[in-house]
């Protein structure tokens, strides 16, 4: 499942980010929130689905939680340079994408080739 993301920078007190990801539909957003939260069990910050945008997931985090969240985004293909960018605005990063596995893909293990005796 492809998600389109955008991060907002918060510079008051401890640096923090609000990160939102938009998915094709609410079912994808729900599955993405589950997978993203499973990837950061130690974090207090949790991905949530906003009431007014059921096709999105969002999180607000700082410190170690933000480090874990951005590492997770990178593991799902996000360009951290874009997530952390100040290129266009001191408030908002550049748009980025993530690819969250939907669990419907099947891996097929092929037996190793054996040489003739």
Fold classification of 2-99 is: Alpha-Beta Plaits (3.30.70)
**Rounded to an integer, what distance in angstroms lies between the CA atom of residue 115 and that of residue 117?**
6
Q: What share of the chain is helix, strand, coil (3-state, %, to 5)?
A: 25, 25, 50
pTM: 0.83
pLDDT in tens, 10-48: 998 899 999 999 999 999 999 999 999 999 999 999 999
Residue 102 has pLDDT above 60, yes or no: yes
Sequence ranges of the domains in the chain: 2-99
């Amino acid at each position: 499942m492809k998600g389109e993301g955008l991060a907002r920078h918060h510079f008051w007190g401890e640096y923090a980010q609000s990160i939102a990801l938009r998915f094709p539909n609410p079912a994808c957003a729900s599955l993405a929130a589950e997978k993203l939260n499973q990837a950061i069990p130690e974090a207090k910050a949790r991905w949530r689905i906003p009431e007014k945008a059921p096709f999105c997931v969002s999180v607000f985090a700082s410190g170690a939680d933000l480090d874990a969240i951005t590492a997770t985004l990178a593991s799902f293909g996000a360009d951290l340079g874009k997530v952390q960018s100040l290129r266009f605005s001191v408030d908002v990063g550049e748009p980025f994408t993530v690819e969250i596995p939907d669990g419907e893909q099947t891996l097929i293990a092929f037996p190793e080739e054996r040489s003739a005796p």
